[in-house]
């Protein structure tokens, strides 16, 4: 895939970037490896100073960083500003907490002394997606740079200006050349980087197919990986839920970032008599979205990220309908320039319908009516994915009981699945493995070294 900025609101090509030559890639790897030899020995205080400068730049120049997201992948400008803000929060979080998270851990063996020390692994390689062009980079780069690693990143081909902006951010903040490196590289070059002995770990956020290839390649090289993949999150509405408040959150859970989010609500599972009223209110709310220029704060419906993304969704809807699903709302392209799709609601989806197991990465909601709590749990767990999920009820103890039985990495009660610097993020099953963010995120790519001190007079 070429590295090319195409404004999805207009379809116009903005700028194209060349892939690195073999010589340029080798130089980048050599520079990163050299940088690591010194960066690993810098103090937490020094690294935190660099990170704090990056935070200050993002917060002071939020509009400057937000604009490339909007023009490259269509994110509404207000959501783009919010993403800049949370990216800054993540970097700030690790700047302030990394030393505490990685402090030596004293053990209590039966005799003598022992401690677990945390040390960096080396040069890490990240393959990152387009849907949150800075947030995804921040949660990979911030903890690992603070841990003393250095990072190299292959970003998605449709957001090259965002990729370059984030690399410049770290250089402007005072990070040495090689600490954070953007790579415009091909699929074959991705394999070369994974194979390279200077790379010590690989992180991917993306789809299952990409994960299979990257994880297999890393496995052949016996390298640690983390995989944050897709989701088919259930939004469970129990019979006692506050309907008006729940519908408000349902709309946000589906339409935030135009549904292009791994933890967007995708399967709405409604218990009992609430179903018809929920559907009516939900449908009316989605029908009110109005397409427009994502740079205009008044716009409520922005384009999908690319023409290919739109084509994929339309094909999924067509296939679902052919297998028996009912289109209650939308289902079509919007007749205007750009990659716009109508907010869509599908019902009558049987387990034999491919839509039952697919991830719809966009403004398509699948609604299911169930008889009771037990059926809701069973349906939510009948998925190849296990990323997030949410439960809406006025009985918190009941919500916690349901949450304990959901096979996912994250469950939110009375709120859609979402993210914050201090909360661990990750899933199970085809949603991947490993965790990002929180204290767990900085532990993934460090050496947990045991150091034990024994007496020379101790018995063998």
Instruction: Report CA 316 to chain centroid distance, whole Å.
Output: 22
Calpha distance 206→226 (Å, rounded): 11
Tell me if 238 sits within 8 A of 346, measured CB to CB: no
Tokens of 208: 């299952």
Active-site residue flag, 64: no
* Cβ atoms of residues 158 and 5 within 8 Å: yes
State the Cα–Cα distance between residues 264 and 148, nearest whole angstrom: 33
Cβ-defined contacts of 406-415 (< 8 Å, 24+): 406/234, 406/377, 406/380, 406/381, 407/381, 408/233, 409/435, 410/263, 412/388, 414/249, 414/390, 415/249, 415/390
Tokens of 203: 């992180």
- Residue 348 CB-half CA count within 13 A: 10
Task: Name the nearest CA neighbour of 440 among 415, 417, 403, 410.
Answer: 410
Q: Kind and range of the H or E element at 428?
A: strand 428-429
262 classed as catalytic: yes
Name the catalytic one among 83, 262, 373, 444: 262
Options 72, 83, 167, 228, the catalytic residue: 228
Q: Is 341 left (phi over 0), alpha (psi -120 to 50) or beta?
A: beta
Residues with a known catalytic role: 228, 262
């Amino acid at each position: 895939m070429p590295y090319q900025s195409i404004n999805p609101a207009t379809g116009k090509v903005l700028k194209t970037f060349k892939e690195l030559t073999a010589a340029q890639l080798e130089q980048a790897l050599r520079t990163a490896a050299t940088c690591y030899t010194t960066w690993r020995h810098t103090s937490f205080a020094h690294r935190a100073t660099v990170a704090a400068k990056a935070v200050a730049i993002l917060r002071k120049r939020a509009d400057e960083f937000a604009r490339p997201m909007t023009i490259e992948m269509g994110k509404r400008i207000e959501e783009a500003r919010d993403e800049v803000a949370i990216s800054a929060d993540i970097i700030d979080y690790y700047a302030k907490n990394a030393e505490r998270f990685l402090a030596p851990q004293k053990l209590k063996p039966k005799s003598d002394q022992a401690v677990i020390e945390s040390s960096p692994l080396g040069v890490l390689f990240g393959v990152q997606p387009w849907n949150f062009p800075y947030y995804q980079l921040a949660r990979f780069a911030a903890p690992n740079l603070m841990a003393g690693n250095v990072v190299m990143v292959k970003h998605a081909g449709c957001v090259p200006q965002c990729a370059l902006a984030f690399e410049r951010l770290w250089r402007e903040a005072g990070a040495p050349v090689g600490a954070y490196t953007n790579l415009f590289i091909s699929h074959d070059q991705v394999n070369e980087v994974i194979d390279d002995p200077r790379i010590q770990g690989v992180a991917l956020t993306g789809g299952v197919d990409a994960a299979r290839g990257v994880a297999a390649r890393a496995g052949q090289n016996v390298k640690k990986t983390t995989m944050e993949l897709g989701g088919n999150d259930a939004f469970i509405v129990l019979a006692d839920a506050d309907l008006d408040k729940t519908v408000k959150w349902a709309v946000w859970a589906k339409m935030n970032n135009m549904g292009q989010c791994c933890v967007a609500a995708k399967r709405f599972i409604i218990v009992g008599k609430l179903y018809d009223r929920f559907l009516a209110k939900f449908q009316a709310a989605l029908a009110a979205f109005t397409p427009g220029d994502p740079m205009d704060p008044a716009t409520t419906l922005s384009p999908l990220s690319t023409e290919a993304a739109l084509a994929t969704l339309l094909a999924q809807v067509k296939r679902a309908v052919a297998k028996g699903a009912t289109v209650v709302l939308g289902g079509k392209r919007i007749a205007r320039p750009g990659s716009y799709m109508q907010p869509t609601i599908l019902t009558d989806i049987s387990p034999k319908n491919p839509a039952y197991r697919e991830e719809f990465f966009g403004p398509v909601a699948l609604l299911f009516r169930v008889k009771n709590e037990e059926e809701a749990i069973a349906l939510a767990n009948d998925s190849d994915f296990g990323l997030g999920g949410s439960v809406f009820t006025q009985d918190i103890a009941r919500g916690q009981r349901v949450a304990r039985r959901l096979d996912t990495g994250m469950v939110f009660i009375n709120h859609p699945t979402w993210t914050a610097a201090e909360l661990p993020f990750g899933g199970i099953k085809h949603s991947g493995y490993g965790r990002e963010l929180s204290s767990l995120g900085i532990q993934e790519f460090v050496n947990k070294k045991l150091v034990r001190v024994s007496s020379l007079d101790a018995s063998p």
